[in-house]
């Protein structure tokens, strides 16, 4: 391919005023200036961008965001500057800390029968929001489907996130993860946690694949990694990513035990251990005994009905008969009962944190 250069054009009233600001204050390089006797155009480059600052240009001054590891050591520690030509300069951290907004607790019931719209998102996947208010931005829960199977137009990427779960609800999907060896198939009933910033890629999906994806916080950045090729090696399955390790829970290897709620049994996915207690994930079925009223002290308790049905009773609330595809959130301290479960009921419960208390009665 022949050589190419891209420039962003910005306006100015007088280029002579801009030269010292862009070269000295911002540390950019002066590449061009003309005409020599009465300059009207300068071109400067640096920080991964090339700017053409032109006298009388019709564009607005715009905003230039500079991200760096030590912003306090740049431009005298100023975070917002205005160039002589009017361009706003924002100085930000290269890797800003992840901010987890406080949870705005609410009782949420989301029904599949309500026919909430499916939104086309990243890589052509269709998304249905399971927690419309997102509890104040603290969590996003999505029901995701790909109607037509085959190769997925995905790229190696990672998420700046506190916790992320992918649970395969229907069908199967082929995935590959950083330091986890060769690609593998995630079957229905199995799940993975994607530790913060682990590189990964979705490769291939069955027809009518459906997954439940949980992300904390609700708004988080997805970054494409153009340098890494997956699989990479050698494998290092015990590696910790910001304190969390990759977990691939497989249903056929799980053991069932009495659940925290009377009348139910569950299999623990091992995710509480893998996240150092950040979150817990259980698959729940009908067990022995009768359901009873309980309350909990978890910050977030989200449940998706995967199969069968039950009646969700809440203190001071009308009962909700729930079926496959429905979801609900129970705030801490609220008394509820999962009454009249069908024999084939199956629930997916996600809690933050992983360990939390349940009070009966």
What per-residue string of b and e applies to 288-325 under the rule 16 or more CB within 10 Å gives b?
eeebebbbbebbbbbbbbbebebebbbeeeeeeebeeb
102 closest CA partner among 141, 132, 134, 131: 134
pLDDT of residue 135: 97
Contact (Cβ atoms closer than 8 angstroms) between residue 260 and residue 228: no
Confirm whether pTM is higher than 0.85.
Answer: yes
Distance in Å from the first CA to the final CA of the chain: 72
Give one DSSP letter per residue of 111-165, joined into a string.
-GGG-PPPEE-GGG-EEEES-TTGGGGT-EEEEEEESS-EE----SEEEE-SEEE
Spatial distance between the Cα atoms of 311 and 306, rounded to a whole number of angstroms: 14
pLDDT tens profile 280-311: 999 999 999 999 999 999 999 999 999 999 99
CATH superfamily of 108-247: Jelly Rolls (2.60.120.10)
| Cα distances (Å, whole numbers) of residue 39 to 14, 17, 42, 291, 354 | 8, 11, 8, 81, 64
Whether residue 115 is predicted with pLDDT greater than 90 in this model: the reply is: no
**What is the rounded average pLDDT of the residues 270-275?**
96
Tell me the pLDDT tens digit for each residue of 100-113: 999 999 999 999 98
Tokens of 145: 């489907």
Q: Under 8 Å CB-to-CB from 46, ≥6 apart: which residues? A: 26, 27, 28, 29
Handedness of CA 318, 323, 328, 333 (dihedral sign): positive
Residue 223 structure tokens: 């970054």
Residue ranges, CATH 3.10.180.10, the chain: 8-93
Domain 8-93 has CATH 3.40.640.10: no
DSSP run (H or E) holding 18: helix 15-20
Contacts of residue 299, Cβ cutoff 8 Å, sequence gap at least 6: 103, 138, 332, 352, 353
Torsion sign, CA atoms 255, 245, 248, 304: positive
Give me the pLDDT at residue 125, please: 77
Average pLDDT on 26-55 reads 96
Q: Which CATH class is domain 253-360?
A: mainly beta
How far apart are the C-alpha atoms of 212 and 197, rounded to whole Å?
19
Residues 305, 312 contacting (CB under 8 angstroms): no
pLDDT at 122: 66
Q: What is the mean pLDDT of residues 208-235?
A: 95
Measured between alpha carbons, how far is residue 107 from residues 163, 300, 334, 336 in Å?
Answer: 22, 11, 9, 11
Give the model's pLDDT for residue 62. 96
* Phi and psi, residue 324, nearest 5°: -55, 135
Asked if pLDDT for residue 5 goes beyond 80, the answer is yes
Decide if pLDDT at 217 tops 80: yes
Residues of the chain with CATH 2.60.120.10: 108-247, 253-360
Question: Looking at residue 153, what is its pLDDT?
Answer: 87
pLDDT at 73: 94
What is each CA distance from 128 to 118, 157, 161, 163, in whole angstroms?
A: 5, 22, 20, 19
């Amino acid at each position: 391919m022949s050589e190419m250069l891209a420039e962003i054009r910005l306006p100015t009233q007088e280029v002579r005023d801009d030269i010292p600001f862009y070269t000295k204050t911002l540390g950019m390089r002066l590449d061009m200036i003309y005409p020599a006797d009465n300059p009207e155009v300068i071109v400067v480059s640096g920080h991964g961008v090339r700017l053409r600052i032109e006298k009388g240009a019709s564009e607005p001054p715009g905003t230039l965001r500079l991200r760096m590891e030590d912003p306090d050591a740049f431009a005298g520690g100023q975070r917002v500057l205005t160039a002589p030509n009017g361009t706003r300069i924002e100085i930000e951290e290269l890797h800003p800390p992840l901010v987890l907004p406080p949870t705005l607790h609410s009782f949420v019931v989301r029904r599949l029968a309500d026919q909430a719209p499916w939104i086309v998102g990243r890589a052509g996947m269709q998304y249905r929001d399971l927690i419309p208010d997102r509890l104040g931005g603290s969590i996003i829960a999505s029901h995701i489907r790909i109607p037509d199977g085959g190769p997925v137009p995905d790229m190696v990427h990672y998420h700046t996130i506190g916790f992320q779960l992918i649970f395969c609800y229907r069908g199967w999907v082929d995935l590959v993860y950083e330091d986890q060896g060769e690609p593998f198939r995630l079957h229905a009933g199995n799940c993975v946690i994607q530790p913060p910033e682990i590189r990964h890629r979705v490769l291939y999906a069955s027809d009518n694949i459906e997954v439940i994806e949980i992300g904390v916080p609700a708004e988080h950045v997805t970054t494409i990694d153009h340098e890494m090729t997956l699989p990479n090696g050698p494998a290092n399955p015990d590696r910790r990513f910001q304190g969390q390790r990759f977990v691939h829970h497989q249903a056929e290897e799980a053991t069932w035990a009495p659940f925290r709620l009377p009348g139910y049994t569950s299999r623990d996915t091992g995710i509480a251990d893998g996240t150092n207690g950040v979150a817990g994930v259980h698959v729940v079925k009908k067990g022995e005994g009768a359901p009873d009223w309980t309350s909990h002290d978890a910050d977030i308790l989200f449940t998706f009905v995967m199969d069968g049905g039950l009646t969700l009773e809440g203190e001071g609330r009308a009962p909700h008969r729930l079926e496959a595809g429905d979801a609900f959130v129970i705030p801490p301290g609220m008394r509820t009962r999962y009454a009249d479960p069908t024999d084939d009921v199956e629930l997916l419960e996600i809690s933050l944190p992983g360990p939390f208390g349940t009070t009966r009665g």
